[in-house]
Homo-oligomer: A and B are copies of this chain.
Amino acid sequence: MRTCPGRILRYNASGAPAAAVAAARNGKAREKTLTMETLNPQVKAVEYAVRGPIVIKAGEIERILQEGGKKPFTEVIKANIGDAHAMGQQPITFLRQVVALCTFPELLDSPSFPEDAKRRAQRILQGCGGRSLGSYSASQGVDCIRQDIAAYIEQRDQGVPSNWENIFLTTGASDGISILRLLVSGEGRARTGVMIPIPQYPLYSAAIAELGAVQVNYYLDEDNCWALDVHELHRAYQAAKQHCQPRVLCIINPGNPTGQVQSKKCIEDVLHFAYEENLFVMADEVYQENVYAPDCEFHSFKKVLYEMGPEYFNSVELASFHSTSKGYTGECGFRGGFMEIVNLDPEVKAQLVKLLSVRLCPPVAGQAAMDVIVNPPQPDEPSFAQFHKEKASVLGALADKAKLTEQILSAVPGIKCNPVQGAMYAFPQIFIPPRAVEEAKALGMQPDMLYCLRLLEETGICVVPGSGFGQREGTYHFRMTILPSPEKLKVLLEKVRDFHINFYA
C-alpha cells in the first residue's frame, strides 16, 4: 500500500543505537509516521460541510475584523450551524436550574431555587453513583432518566408502549448514529449499503465513509416540498443491489436540511418498504418539537409502526434519535441525547452495550438536561408557567422566522425556496448563471461553493453550499439556519437577496 523506501532503510537500522541512526541520516529530518500518504483512507474520505472550508474561511474573516481589518461589513453572521444559543437564544431557566443543582448540590438548600427543580435534581442524583454527577453512569445512561424517557415516549405516542431498557442515552444524537457501526459488514457486493436521503445531513455520509460502507442515495422531491416518494426508495434500492447489500435506511424527519415534515402516509409507505426489504430503519427525529407549518404534524416512526399492526411492530428494527441540542432548548454544548431501539436482537443488544461500555458513559450533565426535556414542570408545579412561557416564546419565534425566510427568499428572482415546515433550516435552490459555473469549474470548485464564498466575502453571511448535503446534478442550493434574531435574520435575508440579484446579473 505504501512506497516509502527511506522508511524501509530505517527498519534495517533498527536495534542500532539512536545516535548512530541519527548520524546515518546525515542531518536529514526524520520522516513522519503519519502523513497524508499513510493516513487511514477512510478518514480521508470523510467530509463534513457544516464545519467545512467555508466555516474556516468565516473564522479567518472574523479574526481580520477583530484585528481592525476592513471588510464591506462589520460582523460575520454564522447561519451555517444549528447552534441556537450562539445566535442569542436564551436557555430554558428550569433546565439550567436543575443541571446547576445537580452540579453543586449545596444549592439544594438555597431558597432562590424552586422546589420542582430541586425535586428533579434530587431524583437524578439518587440515580447517580455516590449521588454525584461526577460518577460514571451505566453505559446506557442513568436508569431513572431512561425510565423518564420511556414515559415521555409513551405519552408522545399516545400510549404506544416504550420499554426503558431499550433507551440508550448518547453524547448528542451524532453519537447515537454511530450504532451504524454494528451494521457494516461484508465485502464487495455483500458490503452493507446505507440508504440516505439527498439532500442529507452530512453526519450520515461522514459515518458511512469512515466505516467504509456503501452510500446509497435516494432523492427527495424538491418539486413536492422535499417529500419522500417511496417509488424513489424502490428505485435506489434496486439500483444499489447490483453492487452492494442495502441493509439500513436512514430517515431525517423533520428534514435537515430540507425543513420538510413527513406525512403519516409517507411514513407508512417507508415502513412498508423497510419491512419488505428487511432494512434496519434509523429515524433521525431530533427536530420532533420543531414543526411550524399549521398543516403539518410530527408522527414518530415508532407510533406509525405500531399502528400498522403487530406483524410490523414486532419485527421492523428501528432506532430513533433525539437530542437536547434542538427543539426549544438548543442545548448543543451539553451533548445530551438518546436513542430508542426496538426489535433489536437480544444478543446484538448485548453487543451494543459492550461497545458503548468502552466509552464508559455519556456526559451525565447532558443526561440531566435530557431528563428535564422529557420530564418538564407539570401544571401543579411552581415552574410550570415560566417554563411554558419560555418554550412557547422560542417555538413561536422560530415559526415566525421560518415564514419570514420562505417569504423573502421565494420572492427573489432566481431563488426557489420551499416552505420551512419544520427543523431549523431553509435549503433554497439558487440559479447560478453558466458563466459563474464555468468560473467555478476553472477554480476546481463546486459552483455553489463559489457562490457561498462570494456571499461570505461580500456580506459576512456564512451559509453552507448545497454540495455538502447532496443535490441533483445541475442544481445548486445552500443551507442556512433560521436561528438569528428576527431583526438580524431580516437583514441577512435582504442581504442574500441583494447579493443574489447582483450575482445573477
Residues of A within 8 A of B (CB): 1-2, 7, 10-11, 13-18, 21-22, 29-36, 38-41, 43-44, 46-48, 50-52, 81, 83-89, 91, 96-97, 99-100, 103-104, 107, 110, 112, 128-130, 132-137, 139, 171-172, 174-175, 181-187, 190, 202-203, 206-207, 210, 234, 237-238, 241, 247-248, 272-273, 275-280, 311, 314-317, 329-335, 343-345, 347-348, 351, 354-355, 357-366
Number of copies of this kind of chain in the complex = 2
Q: CA separation between A276 and B183, bound complex, in Å?
A: 40
B315, A29: Cβ atoms closer than 8 Å: yes
Contact yes or no, B85 A2, CB < 8 A: no
Task: Specify which of B35, B91, B248, B360 is in contact with A132 (CB 8 Å cutoff).
Answer: B91
The 10 closest A-B pairs by CB, nearest first: A86-B129, A333-B364, A100-B104, A85-B132, A51-B357, A363-B363, A30-B315, A86-B135, A85-B134, A18-B272
A343 adjacent to B171 (CB under 8 Å): no
**What are 23 residue pairs bridging A and B, where the CB atoms are less than 8 Å apart in the complex?**
A13-B276, A21-B275, A21-B276, A29-B314, A30-B278, A32-B317, A33-B248, A41-B185, A46-B355, A48-B354, A48-B357, A51-B357, A86-B130, A89-B130, A110-B112, A135-B332, A172-B360, A174-B359, A332-B360, A334-B363, A335-B363, A363-B363, A365-B366
Chain B residue, CB-CB nearest to A137? B333
**CA of A426 to CA of B16, assembled, Å:** 36
Name the residue of chain B whose CB is nearest to the CB of A36.
B347
Would you give the shortest CB distance from A351 to chain B, in whole angstroms?
Answer: 6
List B contacts of A317 (CB < 8 A): 32-34
- Determine how close the nearest CB of chain B comes to the CB of A87; give it in whole angstroms: 7
State A39–B351 Cα separation when bound (angstroms). Answer: 9
Given A40-B184, A315-B29, A351-B44: A87 in contact with B359 (beta carbons within 8 A): no
- B residues less than 8 Å from A210 (CB atoms): 181, 355, 358
The answer to whether B362 touches A335, judged by C-beta atoms less than 8 angstroms apart, is: yes
Q: How far, in whole Å, are A491 and B19 apart by their CA atoms in the complex?
A: 53
Q: Could you tell me if A334 and B134 are in contact, using CB atoms closer than 8 angstroms?
A: yes
> A43-B181, A171-B335, A335-B363 known; A83 and B277 CB under 8 Å?
no
Q: Are A34 and B345 touching (Cβ within 8 A)?
A: yes
Which of B100, B172, B331, B359 is in CB contact (< 8 Å) with A172? B359
Determine how close the nearest CB of chain B comes to the CB of A321; give it in whole angstroms. Answer: 14
Given A134-B333, A135-B86, decide whether A7 and B278 contact each other with a Cβ distance below 8 A.
Answer: yes
Chain B contacts for A358, CB-based, 8 A: 46, 48, 174, 202-203, 206-207, 210
Asked, given contacts A1-B190, A171-B335, A334-B364, whether A278 binds B33 with beta carbons under 8 Å apart, the answer is: yes
